[in-house]
Amino acid sequence: MALILGLESSCDETAAALVTSERTVLAHCLATQEAHHRPFGGVVPEIAARAHVEVMTPLVEQALAQANVRLADVDAIAATAGPGLIGGVMVGLVTGKALAHAASKPLIAVNHLEGHALSPRLANPDLQFPYLLLLVSGGHCQLLYVEAVGRYRRLATTIDDAAGEAFDKTAKLLGLGFPGGPAVEAAAKAGNPKAVPLPRPLLGTKEPHFSFAGLKSAVLRARDAGVYKSEDIAASFQQAVVDCLLDRTQRAVDVADGATALVVAGGVAANHTIRAALEGLAARNGLPFFAPPLWLCTDNAAMIGWAGAERFAAGLTDPLDVAARPRWPLDPDAEKARGAGVKA
Ligand code: KG4
Ligand code: ZN
């Protein structure tokens, strides 16, 4: 059995966790920066980096104490090395390097997206490779064919905004607060999903790519029309996202031969309406459905520790001069989506 210390700091959560190769989470500690960013209605990179510096070391100490282990007991240190806000990524990665050097432990540089992608395997030992993964977070919206640890084929991505970004922008437009996803979900509960006619970008197109920028603009126009209740806009927006995710995922199921399961991960996977809709889609296709528990969907260090455990078992460790990467696609061979902006 291997014991891995995981560190995460790529966006606005600082986190440290101790995870075993046998799927036991001995400790997972998290400090959210929500209060720091709320006045700005979004994550401010410079503020995020400074806040990570302040709490990363105390969080590591807290995790070790909670798990009742010493650094010397750890087999390897796994830290997010990208993609993300580079100032924050560097805080976790440099901390990981320093601890690895001081304690003479191997370092594992984890791709944050691989953390999300493998998190359902931490939650459930029954999930085997290969599987079809819908990875929906604040920065990414992708369909991936997960073949093995370190082997991902990207079937589709967003040509503009990520789904979580659309939730966050909608919340801001409707004055629902920050972070946006949970706020929109709560408002949508009291609204009518059919009240506001909103577009379903790219629905029915052959390649299963996503687009959410037009939907966001339509939310703005609906708000400015001044005739709709914000709960109705929230519910209609959420329904439009669900319809897009379902249509695109079905398209991917049709082309992803051999997938043994349908899996969803990432912050947006915490949305109950989206989880239920995907579960239905999986059932219609005769596929088992896996979604991590809510705490494992949004950013955390247990998923980084677990990805570290999977990589460690495969003999994959990294040199101490490994670089932090603001961009780091899981599938380096993926072609750019047609009509896409800069997002990888
Ligand atoms: O995975 P994550 O914590 O960070 C990134 O790697 O991006 O995802 C954060 C995103 C945010 O955009 C947030 O609004 C969204 O996930 N999110 C949700 C919900 N909870 C978090 N979106 C919809 N419904 C939710 N309940
Ligand atoms: Zn994330």
Q: Using one digit for the tens of pLDDT, what is the confidence trace for 25-47?
A: 999 999 999 999 999 888 999 99
Here the tokens at position 245 are: 């995710």
Residue 342 pLDDT grade (very low, low, confident, very high; cuts 50, 70, 90): very low
Is residue 106 in contact with ligand 1, taking CB distance under 6 Å?
no
pLDDT digits (tens, 9 = 90+) for 84-121: 999 999 999 999 999 999 999 999 999 999 999 999 99
- Specify whether the CB–CB gap between 328 and 81 falls below 8 A: yes
Instruction: Quote the pLDDT of residue 98.
Output: 98
Is the minimum distance from the CB of 298 to ligand 1 under 6 angstroms? yes
Q: How many Cα atoms within 13 Å fall on the side-chain side of residue 136? A: 30
- C-beta atoms surrounding 8 within 10 Å: 32
Is residue 18 over pLDDT 50? yes
Cα distance between residue 56 and residue 275, in whole Å: 32
> Tens of pLDDT along 186-198?
999 999 999 999 9
Q: How many CB atoms lie within 10 A of CB 77?
A: 26
**Atom 7 in ligand 1: residue holding the nearest Cα:** 138
Give me the numbers of helices (H) and strands (E) for the chain, helices first please.
11, 10
In this structure, which residue's CA is closest to atom 19 in ligand 1?
181
Candidate from 178, 268, 304, 343 with most ligand 1 atoms within 8 A of CB, to mutate? 268
Q: Output the pTM of the full model.
A: 0.96
Q: Within 10 A of 275 (CB to CB), how many other CB atoms are there?
A: 17
Is it the case that residue 83 has pLDDT exceeding 90?
A: yes
24, 320 Cβ separation under 8 angstroms: no
What structural domains does the chain harbor?
3-117+296-313 (3.30.420.40), 128-287 (3.30.420.40)
191 in contact with ligand 1, CB cutoff 6 A? no
Cβ atoms of 220 and 196 closer than 8 Å: no
Per-residue model confidence (pLDDT) at position 336 = 79
